[in-house]
């Protein structure tokens, strides 16, 4: 059975998926096909149910919950850090400002709107956000992926770390991305993919240097520095990536609940989110 696994071309996703997509672990009869696309594209494809397994933003999940459930492993979770808002100059507030954002279904955008509802979003590909800030085309930029470390190289100022803000407000980690599996694969295949995803993450963490060498190929803006890539990967491939834990799952439910209550998410989040909670 062929399983297409789609994820972002960034170093943390590459790190955690490397063992699974490179034949380093037994896929138990499943043929794994690797698909790369930016997160906003993956969110849009998930609306159509395009791939059997896909990385998506948690913000997008309520809109695809009819087709997918979230795998218990493989999440990108920040503990006291997350997407950042940067600008050329310090400013006291981004209220009413033009802010470049990497997609309206990204979790970064959801948290930004929880932080400051009154902004003018300018949607750009994630790797064009810092450029737009530098050129003065926008007042500020919402930065995800490796740009969270490399923005300093461009002389930009940090206005807010949304993960730090979220932890201060809630005391919880910030769940950003997840891996979803299509419900129509059936219980047996879903259970197999749960196990394989966890094995892939654990293999990468236990063979860090090997997985990092692969992830370096996707380390945009980090000058292909192994140590900077290691730092970034360790931010988002951690114990919560192996398993969300109850603390992580609580954070997921609160994030989606607040998004829905504030009208940012327009579809009510489902009660059952994770595949190991699903009765098929």
What stretch of H or E contains 55? strand 53-57
- Is pTM, for the whole model, over 0.85? yes
- Indicate if 179 and 67 belong to the same structural domain: yes
CA dist 155 and 135 (Å) reads 12
Two tokens, residue 256? 């989606």
Q: Are the CB atoms for 280 and 190 separated by under 8 Å?
A: yes
- Indicate if 114 and 145 belong to the same structural domain: yes
- Using the 3D structure, point to which of 121, 152, 170 is the last residue of a domain: 170
pLDDT at 269 over 70: yes
pLDDT at 10 over 60: yes
Q: Are the CB atoms for 119 and 112 separated by under 8 Å?
A: yes
Provide the residue range defining the domain that includes 149.
84-170
- Using the 3D structure, point to which of 170, 196, 219 is the last residue of a domain: 170
CATH number at residue 151: 3.40.190.10
Q: Say how many domains are in the chain.
A: 2
- Indicate if 134 and 195 belong to the same structural domain: no
pLDDT value for 218: 76
Specify the 3-state DSSP secondary structure of 174.
strand
Q: Which pLDDT band holds residue 126 (cuts at 50, 70, 90)? A: confident
* pLDDT, tens digit (0-9, with 9 covering 90-100), for 211-256: 988 888 876 655 557 787 888 889 889 999 999 999 999 999 999 9
* pLDDT, tens digit (0-9, with 9 covering 90-100), for 61-120: 999 999 999 999 999 999 999 999 999 999 999 999 999 999 999 999 999 999 999 999
Known binder of ligand: residue 21?
no
- Indicate if 60 and 99 belong to the same structural domain: no
Q: Which residues are catalytic?
A: 145
Specify the 3-state DSSP secondary structure of 258.
helix
Known binder of ligand: residue 107?
yes
- Indicate if 62 and 192 belong to the same structural domain: yes
Nearest residue to 74 (alpha-carbon basis) of 50, 94, 58 = 58
- Indicate if 52 and 124 belong to the same structural domain: no
- Indicate if 272 and 187 belong to the same structural domain: yes
- Indicate if 58 and 196 belong to the same structural domain: yes
* Percentages of the chain per state (helix, strand, coil), in multiples of 5: 45, 20, 35
pLDDT value for 232: 85
- Indicate if 146 and 218 belong to the same structural domain: no
Give the whole-number percent of the chain exceeding pLDDT 90.
79
- Indicate if 71 and 181 belong to the same structural domain: yes
- Indicate if 258 and 130 belong to the same structural domain: no
- Indicate if 164 and 225 belong to the same structural domain: no
- Using the 3D structure, point to which of 142, 170, 198 is the last residue of a domain: 170
Q: Which pLDDT band holds residue 280 (cuts at 50, 70, 90)? A: low
């Amino acid at each position: 059975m062929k399983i297409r696994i789609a994820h972002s071309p960034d170093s943390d996703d590459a790190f955690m998926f490397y063992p699974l997509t490179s034949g380093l672990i037994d896929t138990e009869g499943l043929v794994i096909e690797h698909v790369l696309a930016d997160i906003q594209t993956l969110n849009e494809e998930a609306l159509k149910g395009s791939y059997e397994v896909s990385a998506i933003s948690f913000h997008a999940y309520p809109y695809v919950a009819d087709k997918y459930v979230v795998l218990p492993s493989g999440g990108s979770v920040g503990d006291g850090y997350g997407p950042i808002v940067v600008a050329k100059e310090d400013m006291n507030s981004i209220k009413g400002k033009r802010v470049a954002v990497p997609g309206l279904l990204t979790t970064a955008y959801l948290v930004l709107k929880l932080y400051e509802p009154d902004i003018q979003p300018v949607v750009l590909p994630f790797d064009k956000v810092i450029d737009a800030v530098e050129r003065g085309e926008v007042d500020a930029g919402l930065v995800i992926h490796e740009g969270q470390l490399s923005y300093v190289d461009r002389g930009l100022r940090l206005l807010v770390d949304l993960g730090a803000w979220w932890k201060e407000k809630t005391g919880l980690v910030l769940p950003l991305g997840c891996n979803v599996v299509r419900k129509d694969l059936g219980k047996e295949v879903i259970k197999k993919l749960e196990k394989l995803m966890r094995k892939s993450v654990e293999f990468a963490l236990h063979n860090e240097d090997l997985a990092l060498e692969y992830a370096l190929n996707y380390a945009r803006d980090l000058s292909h520095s192994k140590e900077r890539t290691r730092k970034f990967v360790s931010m988002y491939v951690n114990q919560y990536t192996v398993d969300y834990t109850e603390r992580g799952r609580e954070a997921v439910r609160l994030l989606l609940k607040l998004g829905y209550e504030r009208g940012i998410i327009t579809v009510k989040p489902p009660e059952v989110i994770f595949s190991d909670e699903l009765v098929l």
